[in-house]
Amino acid sequence: MFAREKPLPQAVLSPNAPQANDLIEEDGIRLGSAYWNPEILPNGHIVAIGASGSGKTQTLKAISFAMHQTYPQIQVILIDFHGDQDIAGETCFPLHMNSDWGINLLVLNLDPEGGGPNLQSIQVVALLKKTLRLGPNQEGLALEVLGECYHRRGILQSDSSTWTREPPNFTDVQRVIEDRIENGCKDSQKLQLKLAATFIYGIFNRAQPELSEKLIRIDLSKLPPELAAIAAESLARQLMNNHRLQGEIEGKLPYTYLFIDEAKEMPKIAGSACDRIIADGRKYGLALVLASQSERHLSLDVIGNSATKIVLPVDQTEAKKVARKFRFAEQKVAQLKPLTALCRFGTQAQQVEIIPYFQRIQEER
């Protein structure tokens, strides 16, 4: 995810079974045999790893559910790639071919020093190039097309007062490409073929939901992986841009938590939304919970910049690498059982028996 990885210091803690006097202060969210409190940690970011059957999904759902109950003022947004992150009390926006909702990739960053249509066009084309494998000529043409879309809407890079006008979407993109084809542009025909899936599914042509509720799930499970990755990246980037515009927060409690289970589904591009959130989200009130089944999908920078680390059972072939990356004893990692996790909260580490989501929801009833 990050181009350069910084080395971690040698492991100095080997968690044992938690003792009563070792537990974090009983304030915040009860994970199980320990409490997690983002207000006393350097940042609110969480990185989690666990193989299939480890209890990772139940752990993430437990954290998001408990967060919504414990900190009702915090907005919780879940990007759900597999359709299994449903939470009681949620507002769900399913994105698929027949959905009423979509994600507008062309929504502008209104930051006068780092926004506008030119930068947005560059970022969108870079994302399309990576996920849809655009060639150099198609990349250049796509930049021209997006620029024309903004220009037709009267949105100009040189005039920031125009940036608040209604942005174009992929209906505009489709129309501009068709106009160019009618004028005999053969390269536009090739670009149209590359973008065919985006036009067929239509999720980038539709209205974007207003994300005003406190517990929201964006269900991307019915989309092709490439389109789901584009939608997730765009949404995460919009969240970061909006929080940056609000300015730096006072205190440590974030305004918003973004949950992403399956880091591998996110686009691997330079300056990605996850990169930006991990690096700068803390001071603007946006925290990231990023999870994966494999250590290969989590860089040392992501791990190093997340104050909370959760290791659930992993494949035995990865135990050594996971132990090294997360700075836990290899034997401890290898002996983990489902819903038993090695957790590091800042400088404190311990083994935790996780209370899963299904148990929490049963207790609620």
Q: Where are the domains of the chain?
A: 20-95+214-364, 117-201
29 and 65 in contact (C-beta within 8 Å)?
A: no
Strands 75-80 and 91-94: unpaired
Lowest mean pLDDT segment, chosen from 139-148, 166-175, 355-364: 355-364
Q: What is the pLDDT of residue 25?
A: 55
The mean pLDDT value of the chain amounts to 91
pLDDT at residue 24, rounded to an integer: 46
Is 60 exceeded by the pLDDT of residue 323? yes
Token pair in block for residue 316: 């035995």
10 pLDDT band, cuts 50/70/90, is very low
- 227-242 pLDDT tens trace: 999 999 999 999 999 9
Q: Which residue did the predictor score with more confidence, 141 or 23?
A: 141
d(CA 50, CA 292): 7
Q: How far is CA 74 from CA 33, 162, 215, 312, 332, in A?
A: 24, 32, 9, 26, 34
Q: Where are the alpha helices (DSSP H) in 47-185?
A: 56-70, 117-132, 136-152, 170-182
Q: Enter the pTM of the model.
A: 0.90
Given this model, what pLDDT does residue 186 score? 93
Local structure of 223: helix, strand or coil? coil
Q: Would you place residue 17 in the very low, low, confident or very high pLDDT band (cuts 50, 70, 90)?
A: very low
pLDDT for 269 equals 84
Give the C-alpha separation, 193 to 233, whole Å: 22
The model's pLDDT over 265-319, given as tens digits with 9 standing for 90+, comes to: 998 887 899 999 999 999 999 999 999 999 999 888 889 999 999 999 999 999 9
Residue 27, pLDDT score: 83
pLDDT at 268: 85
Mean pLDDT confidence for 41-65: 96
Task: DSSP letter for 159, please.
Answer: B
What pLDDT does residue 7 have? 47
The architecture CATH gives domain 20-95+214-364: 3-Layer(aba) Sandwich (3.40)
Residue 135 pLDDT level (bands cut at 50, 70, 90): very high
By mean pLDDT, which of 14-28, 146-160, 235-249, 269-283 is the weakest?
14-28
